[in-house]
A and B are shown apart, each in its own frame.
Chain A
Amino acid sequence: MSKSWFGWAGRILCINLSTGEIIKKPLDPELTRKYLGQAGINAKLLFDLTEPGIDPLSPENPLIFGVGPLGGSLAPCSGRFTVTSKSPLTGIFGDSNCGGHWGPELKNAGYDHIIITGKAEQPVYLWINDDQVELRDARHLWGKNTWETDELIKTQLAQPSAQVACIGPAGENQVRFAAIITNLARAAARTGMGAVMGSKYLKAIVVKGNRGMGVASPDEFLQTVHKSESDIQHDPLYEVATTFGTTAITGLAQMLGFLPTRNFQASTFEEAENHRGEVILKNHVTKHKACFNCPVGCSRFYKVEEGEYAGTVGEGPEYESIAALGSKCGNAELPSILHANTLCNQLGLDTISAGNAIAWAMEAYQRGIIKSGDFAGDDLLWGDHRAVIDTINKIALRQGLGDVLAEGALRAAKKLGGEEFVVHSKGMDYPAVDVRGTKGMALAFAVSPRGGDHLKGLPLYEVAPEVYQKDIKTEIGIDITPQYWAEYDTKAELIFWHENWHCVVDSLGLCKLEGICIKPLKPSHFQQLLATATGWDISIEELEAVGERIWNLERLFGVREGIRRKDDLPPHRLYNELIATGPGTGEGLDHDKYEVMLNKYYQLRGWDEKTGIPGRERMQKLGLEKEIEAVLSVAVVES
C-alpha cells in the first residue's frame, strides 16, 4: 500500500486480454478529486476509453471494475463495487453496483480499479493475489454455472476465502442482460455487464487481498463510523430493513396499488398476499445475512421444504426479483419464484430484465403475436410457473424463443412485434414500480442515464413523505404534503438532488439502502466519513458538485450515442394508459404536466430544453469542458 494514499489503494490494474499484458498504474489524484472513485472514476475511464458507436460486445469495449475510497473500510455498509461498460442491452452508458465481499477484497489486494480490454483467445480467469496477478486457463470452467465456478476455483486455488466474481452460461452466451455474480447471489445485474465479460472470454475475476487500507485520521474516522452506525440503528425503519430487507415492499406495493402485474397491464395482483415478505419470513427464511461490514444485514437465506421446488436454496430474493418473476408474469407460486431467483443467480441473469422479458413474451402470446407452435414448447400462459422456469433456462442457453428474448424485450419486440408494450426507457426494462402514481419516480426512471431504472435517483420517501419531512425540508428545502407522491411541483428539484447524491454514494463505495441520502445517512455523514478517511478538506457543497459532475458525464456518454429529449419520456404504456386496477384506478401521467416537470429538470441541470443536450456553460462550470466539446463534435444538434 502506498503511504501517500488514505482511503484509496492508489493503483489501477490494467489487463489486456488480447495480448495478455498486465500493468499496474498509479491512480491519478486529480481523478479522485473530480470523480471520487468507484462509479465516478469508472464513468470517466469509460468515457475516455471508448469511441462513439463501438459494438458493446466487441474487444474495443472496456470492462471496468471499481471500488470507492470508503469501500472495504470500517464505514458502515462499505461492501460495494461497480462494474462499468458500454451496455449491450441499451447501447449507452452501462454500470451495475454490487454488494457482498468482492469489492473490499479488491481494495485489500491494493487496487481501486481494474480495466479489462481486448479479448482472450480462449476462456480465462484473472487471479489477483495481492501483487501477484495472472491470467489462468478457464476452459474447464466454461459452461459451468456460477455456483459451480465459485467452488471449483476456490478448491483449485486452495483459497477458500478468496472472492470470486464470475459469469454463468448467460454471460458466456452473451445474453444482453447477463449478470456478474459474487458470493453466489450478489449480482452486478443491470445493463448486461456479464455479457461484456463473456464477450471477452473472461469467466471470473478472483481476488485475495492481505494489504489492508489506511485512513488519514483514525480516531476521528472511528468516531464518525460509530455515529453513522448509531444513526442507522436508530432510524425509524431500521427494524424493517434488518428483518425483512426489501421483501417488506411487496405487501405495501399491493396495498398502495403500484405492484406491476402481467407486464404492467394491472397494478395490483390478486395473489400478492402469497408473495409478502412476511410469508417468506415465516415459511422460507433460514437465516439472515449481511454484506461486508453492514450493521443492517438486509439479506436472507431461504429454503423451499415442500412441493415441486423442494430442496431449492438461495439468498434473497429482493422485492424487485419477487415482482419480476412473480406478479409481472402473473405467477402466484412463491416457491417457483424462489427457485427462479436461484436459477437466475446460477445462470447469471438480471432477474428484473429476465422477468420483464418473459412478461413481455406472455403478453405477446396473449395478443397472438407469439403463437403456440412458433417456438417448440413455448406456450406462455400468464401464471404458468413452469413456463417461467423453462424460459429462464432457454434464455441463458439461447434456445428457441429464449434466443430471441436473450436480446432483451425491446429487440425481441422489434423482431416479432409488440414494441408498444415493452416497458422500458432507453432500452432498459423498468423496475417494479408503477410510476403513474408517483410522479417523481416517473421522472427519475425516465431520465436515468443507464435507462429505465430505480437505482440512479430514487426519491425514496416520495411515497412516505411524512416520515422524513423534516429531513426533506432541511436538505432540499421542499415543503411536502401528505399526497406528495401525486404532485408534479418540486419533483424536478427532488430528483436533481437525489441523483447527485446517488452518484456520490456510488462513488464512495457505500450501500444505498442505508446511504440513500435522506435516510438515515445524509450528506453530512458522507462528507465526514470521506474527510476523516482521506484527510481531504472538502465541503458538502463540493461533494454534491462532484455528484453533479458524474451525473452529467454519464448523460454525455448517452448524448454521444444519440440520446435526446425524446428518450426522457416514460414508456408508452405508462405514459398513455391509465391504471386499470386497485387504489390508483384511473390515475395516469398528464403529458403537459410531465413536460413542464421535465423542462424544470432540464433548467436545473443546465440542459437544452429542446434537445436534452447538456449546455456548454454548465459543463464548463463542472469541469467537463473537454467532454462536452468531444460530444458536441459528434452530436447532430437538433434544431
Chain B
Amino acid sequence: MLIEKELSVSIKVKYYVLFFIATNYCLEESVQLGNSGSLGELVEILCQKYGEEFRRSIFCPDGSLKSTAWFILNGRRVGTDNPFSVRLNDGDEMIISSPLLVGG
C-alpha cells in the first residue's frame, strides 16, 4: 500500500525594501509549507498572513506579477515565466525584494 507522507518544507524568507515595510518591519522568518512546496504556496501563505498591502506589493490589480516584485531563491533570481510553479525544498532561502536603485 502506498503511504502518502506529508511533506514538511521549511523556508527561510527574507524581506527586503518594500516587503520589509509590508511585513511591518520583519527582516526574516521561517515559513512552513504544506504539500505542494511551491513558490505560489509560499506567496499565498504570506498574503494571508500580512494582508492586502502585501498582496498589492506582489500583484497588479489584474492578478499578474508586478515587475517590482523579485524572488531570489538561494541567491538566484527566479525567472518571470511562470514563477509560482517553482518548487521549493526544505532549507531553501527565499529573498523577496524590490529592484534596486544605484547611486548615492
Contact = CB atoms under 8 A, between A and B. Distances in A.
A543 B53 CA distance: 41
A271 interface: no
A276 B97 CA distance: 12
A252 B18 CA distance: 12
A463 B100 contact: yes
A12 B21 CA distance: 47
Dominant SS among interface residues on chain A: helix
Nearest to B81: A482
B104 A240 contact: no
B27 A278 contact: yes
Nearest to A278: B20
B95 interface: yes
B17 A277 contact: yes
A349 to B, nearest CB: 16
B43 interface: no
A236 interface: yes
A22 interface: no
A458 B97 contact: no
Contact of A458 (B18, B98, B102): B102
Of B15, B21, B72, B98, most A-chain CB atoms within 10 Å? B98
Interface string B39-51: 0000000000000
B61 interface: no
Contact of A320 (B27, B68, B97, B104): B104
Contact of B101 (A248, A455, A482): A248
B100 A458 contact: no
A239 interface: yes
B54 interface: no
Contact of B102 (A239, A241, A244, A463): A463
28 contacts: A236-B68, A239-B18, A240-B18, A241-B101, A243-B21, A244-B17, A246-B101, A248-B16, A248-B100, A251-B16, A252-B97, A255-B97, A256-B100, A276-B16, A276-B27, A278-B15, A278-B20, A278-B25, A281-B25, A319-B102, A320-B104, A454-B103, A461-B99, A464-B99, A464-B100, A466-B80, A467-B68, A467-B99
Interface of B: 15-18, 20-21, 25, 27, 66-68, 72, 75-77, 79-80, 95, 97-104
Interface of A: 236-237, 239-241, 243-246, 248-249, 251-253, 255-257, 276-279, 281-282, 318-321, 433, 454-455, 458, 460-461, 463-464, 466-467, 482, 512-513, 516, 582-583
